[in-house]
């Protein structure tokens, strides 16, 4: 049996780590909001200035929606009232407040959480932004100019912390057999003997999608057969979600009830969209503002209003609406008071009926889908599910996964993910608190997470060992931990990838996936010249990988100052790096590609540094509006026909920083379908192999040296020089 983990200490450690992370997140946002003027925040895309309310209406779920547009007073007559470019997105948590006057000091601390109204961005249009307000009876600011500012999102932390507190409080007798397995206190049930044996009933599964490849079929069989835990390991482009859809359909055939989650709304919506054609009775829980329009028909909010059971609720809603309008017609104070009392009673009854209706709908659904966070809503408390499935599990904090696992009754878990791509972003890794936590656990004699993992495997005979307090960072995902705890027998890896030309695939396959990846026939030879529109044949369009080497010191990196930089998923303050000359090379490559017909929409440029992203954006966006620019971290999960990676680092000290993280390099290099171009300094990123591989080659332009270039990069990924 693997090393036992003490569940209560595990939860206590998680609580410490979550506290540190929340502090790091809050102080970063507060520092930004309090130390910058509204104009600077607006320039950084974090705020929109000079707004007024153009409309107020009732939205889904009876919530108030305010529509904000530019103050007509500042729009020149005859000109369009488009809101200047900003970084506010659907789903962001924002405050709408009276705009500070010009005399407000730059250093004035603004306690944003307590002022104005808060809500979630519902829609972003050119000329307006719609916000669904959180509270029902809040006073919407009116009259003067308003501004809208993005706030830190601490709601998810609160739920994770509640979950970990509940876990901590459980006593030994509360632990379910499933929980014991997850913490190594119980053994995994043995699988039926050889799943591939034709005499095994699982071998005869009738596939809904006969095009599944062998590794996908094996993963589905394994996940169906496993009793407690199954991990589906899906390297880039190997059809992880595709496989999960088949798994869901197979489990439904067995009359099982499923809760399907993902860390982000998009990960969950992706599954809803792909399940919809199979006519699966499902419900998507979640704030309508955050769901894709195509998914709304399956959302609880809409079903509550359109299903048969909802008719009862509709009656009462109409009665309430009638009463509301009669208030305005009534002058008599006594009558008005009576109407208010009636309304109060009606609202109470409405809520009760709605709750009943919602409960019926959810209980009647064989598949419920929600984000990990959303699964912790009151609707699901204590409901029974046979299997909890989590997609993109390597992108979720372990505490996040425990939200559904503790909230509902479930005895089996399937996680799909790739622990060799980037884990969730952790801000507190270098914070004082995190260091203190690490020190604390060292004092207690814990080993770093990898060691304790290795221990977990190594001590297989130590059945009677007492549970130990775990040592971990927030970066250790449940996927990582289970793999380390129970070993590779709990996972199946998908091996055929449907994204990349085989040359692009070789580096990640050899370095991270034990050379097991295979390129599907349909993609293995795909080049830019074969795009379905006219592209001229050139050295670039007939080559899957190109490396521009900038060694020689003429392309130095630059440290950024403390200004707010724009880019990637969010904004960050300074301490970033850029490389102007390298950006110029990127531009040249983009112009080479577009010059021979490749559409800008089919090209993405990714870089690990926000400062470089800002620079590239300034150089490319206007000339190539369709091009996509992103941070490596922000581009995880995406793909493009051609991807240019700008490595940035070029220094005499051979410091590679961010690039030393092999999972980041893996993500960067596995985004393209047909063409990967890496721009970087071979001297900085690979000093030891440099003399061997690059000496005979003229500086710059190593076209055709695909393999050495990649070997060089993989070398960097192993040396991990931070």
Ligand X SMILES: Nc1ncnc2c1ncn2[C@@H]1O[C@H](COP(=O)(O)OP(=O)(O)OP(=O)(O)O)[C@@H](O)[C@H]1O
Q: Which is nearer to ligand X, 283 or 517 (CB)?
A: 517
Binding mask 623-642 for ligand X (x = CB under 6 A): --------------x-----
**What gap in Å lies between CA 709 and CA 430, rounded to an integer?**
32
Q: Which is nearer to ligand X, 99 or 477 (CB)?
A: 477
**What gap in Å lies between CA 141 and CA 157, rounded to an integer?**
29
User: From the CB of 209, what's the least distance to ligand X, in Å?
Assistant: 7
User: From the CB of 286, what's the least distance to ligand X, in Å?
Assistant: 20
Q: Is 673 in the site for ligand X (CB under 6 A)?
A: no
Out of 101, 211, 325, 461, the residue judged to bind ligand X by CB under 6 A: 211
Q: Which is nearer to ligand X, 41 or 393 (CB)?
A: 393
**What does the DSSP assignment read for 30-69?**
HHHHHHS-HHHHHHTTSEEEEEEEEEEEE-GGG-EEEEEE
Q: Is 242 in the site for ligand X (CB under 6 A)?
A: yes
Stretch that binds ligand X, among 238-246, 255-263, 437-445, 707-715 (CB under 6 A): 238-246
**Count of residues binding ligand X (CB under 6 A)?**
14
**What gap in Å lies between CA 152 and CA 116, rounded to an integer?**
15
- Taking CB positions, which residue lies at the least distance from ligand X? 239
Stretch that binds ligand X, among 171-179, 206-214, 645-653, 660-668 (CB under 6 A): 206-214
Out of 3, 221, 240, 662, the residue judged to bind ligand X by CB under 6 A: 240
Q: What is the largest CA-CA distance in the chain?
A: 95
Backbone dihedral angles phi then psi of residue 649, each to the nearest 5 degrees: -65, 125
Q: Which is nearer to ligand X, 2 or 672 (CB)?
A: 672
User: Given phi > 0 = left and psi -120 to 50 = alpha, else beta, which region is 663?
Assistant: alpha
Can you tell me whether residue 442 is helix, strand or coil? helix
User: From the CB of 491, what's the least distance to ligand X, in Å?
Assistant: 15
Element containing residue 519 per DSSP (H, E): strand 518-519
- Say if strands 409-410 and 603-607 run parallel, antiparallel, or are unpaired: unpaired
Mention every residue, 6+ apart, whose C-beta is less than 8 A from residue 232: 219, 223, 240, 243, 244, 247, 414, 415, 416, 417, 491, 492, 494
Stretch that binds ligand X, among 191-199, 236-244, 540-548, 575-583 (CB under 6 A): 236-244
Element containing residue 219 per DSSP (H, E): helix 214-225
Q: Which is nearer to ligand X, 549 or 602 (CB)?
A: 602
Say if CB 33 and CB 564 are below 8 A apart: no
Out of 237, 262, 467, 686, the residue judged to bind ligand X by CB under 6 A: 237
User: From the CB of 662, what's the least distance to ligand X, in Å?
Assistant: 17
User: From the CB of 216, what's the least distance to ligand X, in Å?
Assistant: 6
Q: Which is nearer to ligand X, 216 or 650 (CB)?
A: 216
Stretch that binds ligand X, among 233-241, 289-297, 309-317, 363-371 (CB under 6 A): 233-241
User: From the CB of 670, what's the least distance to ligand X, in Å?
Assistant: 8
User: From the CB of 212, what's the least distance to ligand X, in Å?
Assistant: 5
Stretch that binds ligand X, among 29-37, 211-219, 254-262, 302-310 (CB under 6 A): 211-219
Sign of the dihedral defined by the CA atoms of residues 157, 159, 161, 164, in that order? negative
User: From the CB of 591, what's the least distance to ligand X, in Å?
Assistant: 29
Say if CB 51 and CB 71 are below 8 A apart: yes
Q: Is 212 in the site for ligand X (CB under 6 A)?
A: yes
- Token pair for residue 510? 């050899």
User: From the CB of 240, what's the least distance to ligand X, in Å?
Assistant: 3
Q: Is 680 in the site for ligand X (CB under 6 A)?
A: no
Spatial CA neighbour of 425 closest among 649, 292, 608: 608
Can you tell me whether residue 314 is helix, strand or coil? helix
What is the rounded (10 degree) CA torsion for 583, 586, 592, 595? -70
User: From the CB of 418, what's the least distance to ligand X, in Å?
Assistant: 6
**What gap in Å lies between CA 717 and CA 646, rounded to an integer?**
16
Footprint on residues 458-517 left by ligand X (CB under 6 A): 498
**What gap in Å lies between CA 2 and CA 702, rounded to an integer?**
49
Out of 2, 38, 141, 236, the residue judged to bind ligand X by CB under 6 A: 236
Backbone dihedral angles phi then psi of residue 4, each to the nearest 5 degrees: -80, 140
User: From the CB of 227, what's the least distance to ligand X, in Å?
Assistant: 25
Centroid of chain to Cα 293: 19
**What gap in Å lies between CA 151 and CA 149, rounded to an integer?**
6
What is the rounded (10 degree) CA torsion for 282, 288, 291, 293? 90
Cα distances from 346 to residues 228, 301, 337, 353, in angstroms, run: 46, 20, 14, 10
Strand partners for 410: 385
Q: Is 666 in the site for ligand X (CB under 6 A)?
A: no
Out of 2, 186, 234, 570, the residue judged to bind ligand X by CB under 6 A: 234
User: From the CB of 28, what's the least distance to ligand X, in Å?
Assistant: 28
Mention every residue, 6+ apart, whose C-beta is less than 8 A from residue 552: 683, 699
Stretch that binds ligand X, among 212-220, 327-335, 472-480, 688-696 (CB under 6 A): 212-220
Q: Which residues are at the interface with ligand X (CB under 6 A)?
A: 211-213, 216, 234, 236-242, 498, 637
């Amino acid at each position: 049996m693997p090393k036992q983990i003490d569940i209560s200490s595990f939860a206590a450690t998680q609580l410490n780590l979550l506290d540190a992370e929340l502090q790091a997140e809050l102080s970063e946002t507060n520092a930004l909001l309090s130390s910058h003027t509204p104009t600077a925040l607006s320039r950084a895309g974090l705020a929109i200035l000079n707004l007024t309310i153009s409309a107020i209406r009732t939205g889904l779920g009876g919530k108030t929606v305010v529509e904000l547009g530019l103050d007509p007073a500042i729009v020149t007559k005859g000109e369009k009232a488009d809101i200047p470019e900003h970084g506010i997105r659907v789903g962001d948590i924002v405050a709408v407040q009276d705009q500070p006057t010009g005399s407000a000091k730059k250093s004035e601390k603004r306690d944003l959480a307590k002022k104005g109204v808060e809500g979630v961005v519902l829609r972003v249009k050119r000329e307006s932004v719609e916000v669904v307000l959180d509270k029902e009876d809040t006073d919407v600011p009116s009259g003067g100019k308003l501004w809208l500012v993005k706030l830190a999102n601490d709601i998810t932390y609160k739920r994770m912390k509640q979950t970990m507190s509940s876990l901590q409080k459980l006593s030994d007798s509360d632990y379910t057999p499933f929980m014991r397995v997850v913490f190594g206190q119980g053994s995994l049930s043995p699988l039926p003997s050889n799943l591939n044996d034709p005499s095994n009933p699982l071998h005869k599964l009738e596939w809904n999608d006969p095009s599944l490849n062998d590794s996908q079929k094996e993963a589905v069989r394994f996940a169906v057969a496993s009793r407690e835990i199954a991990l589906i390991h899906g390297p880039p482009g190997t059809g992880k979600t595709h496989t999960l859809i088949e798994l869901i359909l197979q489990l439904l055939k067995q009359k099982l009830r499923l809760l399907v989650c993902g860390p982000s709304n998009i990960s969950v919506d992706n599954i809803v969209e792909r399940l919809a054609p199979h006519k699966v009775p499902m419900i998507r829980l979640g704030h309508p503002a955050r769901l894709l329009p195509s998914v709304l028909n399956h959302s609880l909010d809409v079903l509550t209003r359109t299903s048969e059971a909802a008719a009862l609720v509709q009656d009462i809603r109409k009665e309430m609406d009638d009463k509301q309008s009669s208030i305005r017609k009534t002058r008599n104070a006594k009558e008005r008071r009576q109407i208010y009392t009636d309304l109060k009673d009606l609202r109470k009854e409405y809520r009760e009926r709605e709750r009943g209706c919602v409960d019926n709908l959810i209980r009647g659904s064989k598949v419920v889908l929600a984000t990990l966070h959303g699964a912790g809503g009151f609707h699901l408390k204590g409901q029974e599910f046979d299997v909890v499935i989590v997609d993109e599990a390597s992108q979720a904090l372990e505490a996040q996964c425990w939200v559904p696992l503790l909230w509902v009754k479930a005895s089996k878990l399937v996680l799909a993910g790739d622990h060799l791509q980037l884990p969730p972003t952790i801000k507190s890794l270098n914070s004082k608190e995190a260091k203190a936590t690490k020190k604390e656990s060292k004092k207690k004699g814990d080993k770093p997470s990898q060691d304790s993992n290795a221990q977990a495997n190594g001590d297989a005979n130590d059945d009677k060992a007492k549970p130990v307090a775990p040592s971990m960072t927030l970066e250790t995902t449940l996927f990582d931990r289970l793999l380390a705890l129970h070993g590779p027998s709990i996972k199946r890896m998908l091996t055929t990838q449907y994204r990349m030309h085989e040359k692009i695939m070789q580096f990640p396959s050899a370095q991270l996936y034990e050379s097991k990846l295979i390129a599907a026939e349909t993609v293995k030879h795909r080049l830019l010249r074969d795009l379905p529109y006219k592209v001229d044949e050139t050295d670039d369009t007939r080559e899957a990988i190109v490396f521009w080497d900038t060694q020689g010191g003429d392309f130095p990196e630059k440290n950024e100052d403390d200004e707010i930089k724009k880019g990637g998923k969010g904004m960050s303050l300074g301490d970033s790096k850029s490389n102007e000359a390298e950006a110029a090379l990127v531009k040249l490559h983009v112009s080479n590609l577009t010059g021979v017909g490749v559409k800008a929409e089919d090209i993405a440029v990714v870089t690990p540094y926000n400062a470089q992203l800002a620079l590239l954006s300034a150089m490319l966006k206007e000339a190539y509006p369709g091009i996509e620019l992103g941070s490596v971290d922000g581009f995880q999960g995406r793909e493009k026909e051609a991807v240019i990676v700008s490595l940035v680092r070029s220094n005499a000290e051979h410091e590679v920083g961010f690039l030393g993280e092999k999972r980041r390099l893996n993500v960067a290099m596995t985004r393209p379908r047909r063409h990967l171009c890496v721009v970087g300094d071979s001297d900085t990123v690979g000093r030891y192999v440099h003399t061997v591989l690059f000496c005979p080659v003229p500086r710059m332009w190593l076209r055709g040296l695909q393999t050495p270039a990649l070997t060089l990069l993989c070398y960097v990924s192993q040396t991990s020089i931070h």
